[in-house]
Amino acid sequence: MSRSTEHPPVIPVILSGGVGSRLWPLSREAYPKQFLDVAATGRTLVQQTLDRLAGDIRLAAPLVVCNQDHRFLVAEQLRDNPLGPARILLEPVGRNTAPAVAVAALQAVRDEPEAVLAVFPADHLVDAPARLRAALETAVQAAQAGWLVTFGVVPDRPETGYGYIEAGTALGEGGPVYRVARFVEKPEAERAEAFLEHGGFYWNAGMFVMRAAQFLEELEVHAPAILEGARAALDGAGQDLDFVRLADEGFRQCPSDSIDFAVMEATRNAAVVPLDAGWTDLGSWETLMGAGTPDADGNVLLGDVVAEDSHGSYLRAESRLVAAIGLEDCVVVETADSVLVAPRDRVQDVKAIVQRLQDDRRNEAVEHRQVHRPWGSYEGLIRAERFQVKRIVVKPGCQLSLQMHHHRAEHWVVVRGTARVTRGEDVFLLGEDQSTYIPLGEIHRLENPGHIPLELVEVQSGSYLGEDDITRLEDRYGR
């Protein structure tokens, strides 16, 4: 098998469509783990995904596939990414990895028929980025030669939480590359130990490198319904500000399948490149603890935590002091509105808690107390019958929609920065320690004309205080 192109563009495809429910309460539906600094590194997971690719390998500007509800989060966090302006494809609904990569491949071949895709989920950690880039170079060479390449993480323990890849014969494609002998589902402990002892078995990390056109050819053979739906979604796509909004009907037609199931397990051209780069899939609090630095008692402590006579525990405080006494092998995660407490061997069951919250329509499953918007954020401070108090932050140069409310009035007090206020026919500025009143039913808008964040306290009063009591008359963000 041989096929090569002089210098085909290598396009990173970042999959950022997950909701990360196993990392609740830190990860929420409206603000999932890939947009958080869950490992306390100073960079969010999606930012790290592109950061680690920058270096000695030449890559094109990235394609990012994400849920349409997260579009402004993605755009903001990748504004200054090291690989150049990202093109963002918006999924109307989650359909697993095969449809997501299918639309990315279709977009790529329209721009460059010989493009090579390097597909990475946005929620992994890699301790040795240079080793990842070296493995990527090997994988690109193999992809040019006609292989659909997956990375196989070199295992350091008999892990039962990952699927495995068994390597077959060596291919000699410019580095350690092997034909895939088989994919293995998550094994029992005894079988995982046997894999580790035998050698030649790797963790399936869900990262891929392949020519975009070849991936589409494989879909045509093995999963034509996915290709048909993805093509309809992209053909009917519309431009929404800086985003490509995939057509709803076409994308919903796609079966919800992974790349492994749709293509890799069916093709004769699957290859694996071993990866030994300190990889971690941050799929649970247990794996996140494994990525942390334990103290002398085996605890991983993050935030304002005081631990006494506690061992082997993950203790995380986001908004206040957490004090622990006599804990053994536990997970405690505190946020402004929720606290998770569980034995370490039960943290996978947090999904059941999230499901109960969803069934009860509780907001804690969806949003944090601080809610992010394209213009900034707001945070609920006090809520009682007929009134609530919020802290609002507006980024420089941003504005809220021109709007009105049918059931509430609002008082605004500026505590930092300068506000430009539209209230009916009047437009005026407010400085620090100044305030204004927005009567019920009055058309209004809040803007930040300055160069520093605008912070204000908003007191709402009325018979109904829900966020759906907003009638937008103008909105630069197309909501």
pTM of the model: 0.88
Q: What is the pLDDT of residues 103-158, one digit of tens each?
A: 999 999 999 999 999 999 999 999 999 999 999 999 999 999 999 999 999 999 99
Mean pLDDT calculated for residue range 56-73 = 92
pLDDT score for 1? 53
Q: What is the pLDDT of residues 28-41, one digit of tens each?
A: 999 999 999 988 88
DSSP H helical segments within 155-270, as ranges?
189-198, 212-222, 224-235, 248-252, 259
Local confidence band at 179 (pLDDT 50, 70, 90 cut-offs): very high
Task: Name the amino acid, one letter, at 311.
Answer: H
Local confidence band at 94 (pLDDT 50, 70, 90 cut-offs): very high
pLDDT score for 2? 47
Q: What is the C-alpha to C-alpha distance for residues 383 and 454, in angstroms, rounded to an integer? A: 22
E strands in 31-160: 63-67, 87-91, 116-121, 124-126, 148-153
Q: What is the pLDDT of residues 219-236, one digit of tens each?
A: 999 999 999 999 999 999
Q: Give per-residue burial for 124-148: e unless 16+ CB within 10 Å, then b.
A: bbbeebeebbbbbbbbbbbbbbbbb
Question: Cβ distance 66 to 16 under 8 Å?
Answer: yes
Q: What is the C-alpha to C-alpha distance for residues 34 and 405, in angstroms, rounded to an integer? A: 34
Q: Read off the tokens for 93.
A: 């609904």
pLDDT score for 6? 59
pLDDT score for 478? 82
pLDDT score for 5? 45
Mean pLDDT calculated for residue range 8-21 = 92
Q: What is the C-alpha to C-alpha distance for residues 13 and 15, in angstroms, rounded to an integer? A: 6
Local confidence band at 4 (pLDDT 50, 70, 90 cut-offs): very low
Question: Cβ distance 49 to 124 under 8 Å?
Answer: yes
Task: Name the amino acid, one letter, at 118.
Answer: A
Helix (H, G, I), strand (E, B) or coil at 311: strand
CATH class of the domain whose range is 370-474? mainly beta
Q: What is the C-alpha to C-alpha distance for residues 308 and 327, in angstroms, rounded to an integer? A: 8
CATH architecture for residues 10-281: Alpha-Beta Complex (3.90)
Residue 473: is it exposed, middle or buried by C-beta count within 10 angstroms (0-12/13-18/19+)?
Answer: exposed
Backbone angles phi, psi at 324, to 5 degrees: -130, 140
List of residues 6+ apart from 437 with CB closer than 8 A? 409, 410, 411, 412
Q: What is the pLDDT of residues 287-303, one digit of tens each?
A: 999 889 999 999 999 99
pLDDT surpassing 80 at residue 402: yes
Please state the domain extents for the chain: 10-281, 293-355, 370-474
Question: Cβ distance 65 to 100 under 8 Å?
Answer: yes
Q: Read off the tokens for 206.
A: 């869900």
